[in-house]
Amino acid sequence: MLNHGSFGACPRAVLQRQERLRRQMEADPMRFFTREMEPLLDASRQSLAELLSCDPADLVFVRNVTEAVNAVLRSLRFRPGDEILVTDHAYNACRNVVDYVAECAGAKATVANIPVPIQEPGEIVAAILARVTAQTRLAMIDHVTSPTAVVFPIESIVRALDEQGVDTLVDGAHAPGMVPLDLPRIGAAYYAGNCHKWLCSPVGAGFLHVRPDKQEGIHPAVISHGFNRRRADRPRLHEEFDWTGTGDPTPWLCVGEAIRFLAMLDPGGIEGLIERNHRMAVDARRLLLGRAAFRPVCPEEMLGSMAAIDFGGELSGASAPVHPLQAALWDRFGIEVPVYFWPAPPQLVLRISAQAYNARTDYERLAEALETLLR
- pLDDT single digits (tens) 327-349: 999 999 999 999 999 988 888 99
The domain 268-374 belongs to what CATH superfamily? Aspartate Aminotransferase, domain 1 (3.90.1150.10)
* Eight-state DSSP code of residue 26: H
Does pLDDT of 244 surpass 70? yes
Query: What was the pLDDT predicted at 320?
Result: 58
Segment (H or E) for 60: strand 59-62
Is the confidence at residue 375, as pLDDT, over 90? no
- Distance between CA 24 and CA 18 in Å, rounded? 10
Helices H / strands E in the chain, number of each: 15, 11
- Predicted confidence at residue 236, as pLDDT, reads 94
pLDDT in tens, 69-117: 999 999 999 999 999 999 999 999 999 999 999 999 999 999 999 999 9
pLDDT at 98: 98
Closest CA to 205 of 346, 15, 345: 15
Rounded Cα gap, residues 193 and 206, in angstroms: 6
More confident residue, 211 or 318: 211
Confidence of residue 315 (pLDDT cuts 50, 70, 90): low
What is the mean pLDDT of the segment spanning 45-71? Answer: 98
Instruction: Give the whole-number percent of the chain exceeding pLDDT 90.
Output: 91
pLDDT at position 313: 60
Q: Measure the CA angle with vertex 76, ends 75 and 79; round to 5°.
A: 135
Tell me the mean pLDDT in the region 155-167.
98
N-term to C-term CA, the chain: 23
Whether the predicted pLDDT of 187 surpasses 90: yes
Q: What distance lies between CA 272 and its chain's CA centroid? A: 20
Residues of the chain with CATH 3.40.640.10: 12-262
Backbone angles phi, psi at 367, to 5 degrees: -60, -45
Distance CA 54, CA 48 (A): 9
Under 8 Å between Cβ of 290 and 132: no
* 101 Cβ contact list (under 8 Å, min separation 6): 73, 74, 76, 78, 84, 107
Check if the beta carbon of residue 202 is closer than 8 Å to that of residue 186: no
Q: Does domain 12-262 have CATH number 3.40.640.10?
A: yes
Q: What average pLDDT is seen over the chain?
A: 95
CATH 3.90.1150.10, the chain: domain bounds: 268-374
The model carries a pTM of 0.96
Distance CA 59, CA 57 (A): 6
The pLDDT of 135-160, averaged and rounded, is: 98
Phi-psi group of 363: left, alpha or beta (phi > 0 → left; psi -120 to 50 → alpha; rest → beta): alpha
What is the Cα–Cα distance from 34 to 16, expressed in whole angstroms? 23
